[in-house]
Structure 1
Amino acid sequence: MPAVTLLTKPGCHLCDDARPVVESVVAAHAGVTLTERSILDDEALRLEYAEDIPVVLIDGRVHSNWRVDAARLSAALERAAARA
């Protein structure tokens, strides 16, 4: 099943907006896992994504950044689950 990673950092208002959307979509897809990581805890992530957060990764690949569209994320998870 797909794995979703939400890249955030403390104090990011867009991250605060994205979090409940991602959590809701993931909860609606059985077997999908969600991990949230702060880019401040990983220098490589901070360097790569500092200007792009929040970033949603599906199986390690960038799905979206800044704003999360629930319908688009849901469709991507359905496609990823079908491939699994």
Structure 2
Amino acid sequence: MSPVFRRPAARARLVTLIRKPGCHLCDDAQVVVEKVCAELGVPWEEKDITQDPRLHDQYWEQIPVVLVDGEQHTFWRVNEDRLRKALAKH
């Protein structure tokens, strides 16, 4: 009997937008994240740095910050094409 080789299952993707209230760059970033994630069927979440001391300490000078699968993708301004390409990989 020969072994059966299976392709690894596609890893679930997740985009995280780290932001704070009243941030116009954060609002702009959210528009891009929502659009690209909707097009590609990728879930996304939002985290508020004012509610998480660890995130605040790590990212307060860079917000908005976008993570793809827990890794920093970009900060301040989100480029739609670059995010789409990052999510299309794998």
Give TM-score, length-normalised by structure 1.
0.91
Greater helix fraction, Structure 1 or Structure 2: 1
* 2:72 matches 1:67: no
RMSD: 0.6
Shift of 1:61: 0.3
Partner of 1:9: 20
Q: How does 1:40-55 map to 2 (within 5 A)?
A: 40-55=50-65
User: In 1, distance between residues paired with 2:48 and 2:81?
Assistant: 25
1:68 and 1:8 mapped to 2: Cα distance? 13
Separation in 1, partners of 2:34, 2:82: 14
Match of 1:44, as an amino acid? R
The secondary structure found in structure 1 opposite 2:67 is strand
Query: Larger relative contact order (C-alpha < 8 A, sep ≥ 6)?
Result: 1
**Cross-structure match for 1:37:** 47
Listed as ranges, the gaps of 5+ residues in structure 2 are 1-11
Between Structure 1 and Structure 2, whose CA radius of gyration is higher? 2
Percent of aligned positions with the same letter in both sequences? 51
Give the secondary structure class of the aligned counterpart of 1:51.
coil
Q: What TM-score, normalized to structure 2? A: 0.85
After the TM superposition, which segments of 4 or more aligned residues of structure 1 sit over 4 Å from their partners? none
- Where does the alignment leave 5 or more consecutive residues of structure 1 unmatched? none
